[in-house]
Amino acid sequence: MLPTLRAKTAALLVFSFSCYACYVYAKVLASRSTPALESRATPLVHVPAPQHNLAQYSPYFPVAAYQAPPETCNITQVHILQRHGARYPTSGAGAQIEAALAKLRTAKAYTDPRLAFLRNFTYDLGTNDLVAFGAAQSVDAGQEAFARYGHLVSGDHLPFVRASSSERVVLSATNWTAGFAAASKGEFAPVLSVILPESGNDTLDDNMCPAAGSSDPQTNAWLAVFAPRITEQLNAGAPGANVSDTDTFNLISLCPFETVAHGVRSQFCGLFESMDAFPGFEYSGDLNKYYGTGYGQPLGRVQGVGYVNELLARLTGTPVHDHTQTNQTLDASPATFPLDRSLYADFSHDNQMAAIYAALGLFPEPVPLDPTKPDPARAWWASRLVPFSARMVVEKLECVPGEDEAGRVGEHVRILVNDALQPLEFCGASADGLCALDAFVESQAYARSDGGGDWEKCFE
């Protein structure tokens, strides 16, 4: 029997701290349309092997096989930062998709047989909410976390779990805890302890930098490069539709959204695959994240500073030192920000994860991404950085001297993004991705600066 999570918060305790607020998880959410899936050996829903060129709408896939740490090093602490699972389009995106479909339907006849399926096509996607597959992604992630790191927890020290307050993020966190608990056969049952409201100080959402610009200039420039030939094919196949390049982009997005919602590959995938549309679609997402909250946005990486400083506090067991978007009241309390746990799990959004990557110094580009010409050797691929249910894992390790690693001793850190081990060149990491904890902390000068990176510029 499947339990259900309810969409409205039936019993969340609200704590007010002057101008700050936080919700502490008290009870399972009341039921609407989004299921909470019990952890199982196999997911309850199936999606075909995901395409890896759907940018931030790609379903999660491991970019590389997980590499166990060197035999001379033991993992002592783990920090997981995870995006919510697959969802329906946002309300704005959904409206644009429906408008584009309406144009295609104005055609009296389809002269391109690739469009014939539209005669019987019905748009039936919801908005914003997790789809069943998205819920299953988090259950699976919780199971994987227990399998890999379950030895770190005990009855007195369960994983400490936080989430940003969007419903899809909260549900992803609670499904992760369900997966973790079931994988432990009920021995360990973590709960979502803190929900950070997106209307206030929140290190898990990019909501506090009003002066930050958008990626629209760059994504629009790229749309004018890659979309016209596809738009031309659509209009030739649907005479009178007068589809625009923006419509084309929204129609391409039906491939990932329909696929994750229905559990079978959308017919739009085949349509746009035949038009070679996905490389361009992917690069649009790369530009969106790079110039939205990544390196290309002057006030992008500063929005990840608060989380980085929380991470450093947990790694070193010292109080948080930050003057950006952290909730200082919550971070000062051992009840809402403990420093003695071995496993932490935080649930967030793709935009915020991009900011955190940039604040840390991950995925640097030697030159900014060109809005008119992709570099195939670039490091910044949205599908590899922030797919649905993306995860960054920071492992803290204790190393002792050994024959294979002479002289390496003490506390070290390594980072994996979607299981791909990061080189951490900025802190002098060895070939296996480990750098000394002290060196890692020192490398985070941008976040640790008294001014909090460029935080004051957010309000100029």
| 49 phi, psi to nearest 5 deg | -45, 125
CA proximity to 313, closest of 434, 444, 426: 444
Give yes or no: 350 in active site: yes
Please check whether residue 142 is in contact with residue 180, taking contact to mean a CB–CB distance below 8 angstroms.
yes
Contacts of 154 (CB under 8 A, 6+ apart): none
- Direct distance between the N- and C-terminal alpha carbons of the chain, in angstroms, rounded to an integer: 54
Cα 443 versus chain centre, distance: 24
β partners of residue 6: 30
Longest dimension (CA), the chain: 75
- Reduce the DSSP state of residue 196 to 3 states and report it: strand
Q: Locate 141 and state its tokens.
A: 């992630």
What is the C-alpha to C-alpha distance for residues 342 and 314, in angstroms, rounded to an integer? 9
Give yes or no: 404 in active site: no
- Of the residues 205, 206, 247, 350, which is catalytic? 350
Query: Alpha-carbon dihedral of residues 65, 70, 71, 76, nearest 10 degrees?
Result: -90
Which amino acid does the sequence have at 352? Q
Residues known to be catalytic: 84, 350
